[in-house]
Chain A
Amino acid sequence: MSDNDTIPLHPSSQSDIDEIENLIHASVQSGPATVFPARPPSPPRASIPVSSSPFMPSNIPPHPPSTTQKPQAVPVPPPLPASSGNGRANMAASGFGSPPNTLTEPVLDTVKRDLSRIVSNLKLVVFPNPFREDPGKALRDWDLWGPFFFIVFLGLILSWSASVKKSEVFAVAFALLAAGAVILTLNVLLLGGHIIFFQSLSLLGYCLFPLDVGALICMLKDNVIVKVVVVCVTLAWSSWAAYPFMSSAVNPRRKALALYPVFLMYVSVGFLIIAID
């Protein structure tokens, strides 16, 4: 399976290709063992193809396989930034035992697979289900697209609802949510808790879903009482969703220290939703 490209590759990609080839050989020899224990590749993830297709390294946008498919993806605007990004993200993902052709699959397949992963993660985190008590099992297959969509969506809704300083509102909302998720995760780590950094970011992003719904309702209905009620309900829902993961990550004597900042962040976001009109 060695590379016989006639097109000269980018100098940095050759070492990447060698490394990945070695890993593929090793995994083929040792059987289909997963390489990353925290993320079993349940849907077949893309691997870097080592065939002779013109392979571009991950920091250059993929050209030939996707350009022919791009017009298909255009009429679906929200996943469009995801489609080109999904190709790249999947290229860089794990899964060295899977068939090497997910880069050449239609973009719609990639989009559908990622969307279904977002939906399944959402169901695990935000809605009642039997896995909630065991956080390690629940968000095994975490991803960052879902949180990204939810944060940007919330920022956009707040920005649309605002009558003045729209761009500042979006900036503050986005910064608050993104920096807040990072700071909350660091807080748990510093308190001596055991979580995986990106898994926690993913979880906090998914728990924003109820607040997204609340913000949408508040944008459509302009009554203050309705807003307060809706925000309180969705706030409680968000906090309930985040509670088992955060509380099981730390020492029980420090549980409140880890949970209070989460609550504070959601309350401040809820307050922003009420106040922006």
Chain B
Amino acid sequence: MSPSSSQIQVFRHFLRLEHKGRFLVVPSLLAMLMILLQNLHLGLVLMKPSRVVGFTAFTVAAYKPYFDIDTSDVLERIKDSLFPFRGSFNEKTASNPDLYGPFWICTTLIFVAASIGTFVTYIAHKLNKKEWDYDINLVTWSAGLFYGYVTIVPLVLYIILKYFSAPSGLVQLFCLYGYSLSVFIPALCLSLVPLDIVRWVVAGVSGFMSATFVALNLRAHIKSAGERWFLIVAGIFLLQLALSVILKLYLFTVRV
């Protein structure tokens, strides 16, 4: 008894845009937002059979089930994410998706990206005997990029999967995306090497590994979605590759 099926109909109707499309953009966005919020709440509350009722999204206790994880589990999941061709991550974490890994991997990535980006520009400036000033915008920019990516892309994917009637839990998607970024940490450390070709190779390889990890794990799940699954998987793959390229371009393009 999914309350969202009628909402999906409404959503599809708006999307068809049979009428003059322009003035329907705002209502359709609002409808999308409503569906999203309702499903987000339902998704988070129904994910674990718990005794919470009502809108408890602002209490600590509502999120405790997603942090019910030990050190050994986290390390094992990170190790799993470094081997993208197994495709079994989703099944292993289906019963106990956690939000600890995604959040702290993102935060570590922000710190590593900011520090390595700073270090690279420092070395480049010193080698050319130029003045160097610390650019605090690296920290804020990389924070926006990583947190935004791990928050928005799974949300959009969740909506798209619901639309194609192959629903996946929202927290599972957060978990998947969060752990998929873990391969960028060693990649960024390796990019310290001052050769540009090495940096491009590292960015390409890590982007490819991360993208295949996400794509393979998702493919097994959404094969039931019908004929559009390949498009979705390809889109996700390209998006992750694009993230890797953007990282490389922003952090390691030194304008001396």
A interface residue numbers (CB < 8 A to B): 162-165, 168-169, 172, 186-187, 189-192, 251, 253-257, 260-261, 264, 267-268, 271, 275-277
Contacts and interface: CB of A to CB of B under 8 A. Distances in A.
Contact of B63 (A168, A190, A257, A261): A190
A186 B60 contact: yes
Contact of A277 (B71, B100, B134): B134
A191 B133 CA distance: 39
Contact of A192 (B64, B134, B136, B137): B64
A192 B66 CA distance: 11
B139 A172 contact: yes
A275 B72 contact: no
B95 to A, nearest CB: 18
B151 interface: no
Classify chain B: how many residues form its interface, as a range.
Answer: 20 to 34
A253 B140 contact: no
24 contacts: A165-B136, A168-B136, A172-B136, A172-B139, A172-B140, A187-B67, A190-B63, A190-B66, A191-B100, A253-B72, A254-B69, A256-B71, A257-B69, A257-B70, A257-B71, A260-B104, A261-B107, A264-B104, A264-B107, A264-B111, A267-B111, A268-B115, A271-B115, A276-B134
Nearest to A165: B136
B38 interface: no
Interface of B: 60, 63-64, 66-72, 74, 100, 104, 107-108, 111, 115, 118, 122, 133-134, 136-137, 139-140
A224 B115 CA distance: 16
Contact of A268 (B67, B68, B111): B111
Contacts of A277: 134
B70 A162 contact: no
B136 A190 contact: no
Given A172-B140, A264-B108, A275-B118, A257 B100 contact: yes
Nearest to A186: B60
B48 to A, nearest CB: 14
B111 A192 contact: no
